[in-house]
Amino acid sequence: MAIRSASARWEGTLTEGAGTMRTGQGGLQGNYSFKSRFADGQGSNPEELIGAAHAGCFSMAMSKGLADAGFTPVSIDTTANVHLEAVNGQQTVTRIDLNTTVNAPGIDNDTFQKIAEGTKQGCPISRLLAPGTEITLTATLAS
């Protein structure tokens, strides 16, 4: 089993305060604030870290799915768009849209779409997030 650590420090009130999020192993660090989360202020926010985790997991798992089907992936580029909006007065992640573009020589589109859909269902972060939000996928073969 792996246990992965990260931390965050917030100082002050919700709207006037500010915080820092950091990962234990990767050494990533991002500042965040009310404005960078709920408006268009500079800085990071928890939702884009969820998106990075999901895109990262999907791309990695897709490499396994392709190899298991006999194809050698050259590159897998995935974007995650995480929707945050008020639902019954509570800020809620209502949807995550994954868009992936894959360069894997020799694969036909039907086989590719099946592997992509299976990866969307099966990758560890998809299985973590799917019970709590909607996930969509658009998968494209690089020409």
What are the structure tokens assigned to 26, written together? 């990767």
- The DSSP element (H or E) to which 103 belongs, if any, is strand 90-103
Output the smallest distance, CB 64 to its own copies, in A: 4
Question: Between the CA of residue 68 and those of 17, 43, 57, 63, 112, what are the distances in Å?
Answer: 49, 39, 17, 9, 12
Output the smallest distance, CB 100 to its own copies, in A: 9
- The residue (of 59 and 137) whose beta carbon lies closer to its own copies is 59
Rounded distance, CA 72 to CA 104, Å?
6
- Amino acid type, 18: A
- The residue (of 41 and 114) whose beta carbon lies closer to its own copies is 41
Output the smallest distance, CB 22 to its own copies, in A: 7
Rounded distance, CA 138 to CA 79, Å?
10
Is 43 in a helix, a strand, or coil? coil
Output the smallest distance, CB 110 to its own copies, in A: 22
Other Cβ atoms within 10 Å of 82 Cβ, number = 21
- The residue (of 40 and 108) whose beta carbon lies closer to its own copies is 40
- The residue (of 75 and 109) whose beta carbon lies closer to its own copies is 75
Output the smallest distance, CB 17 to its own copies, in A: 6
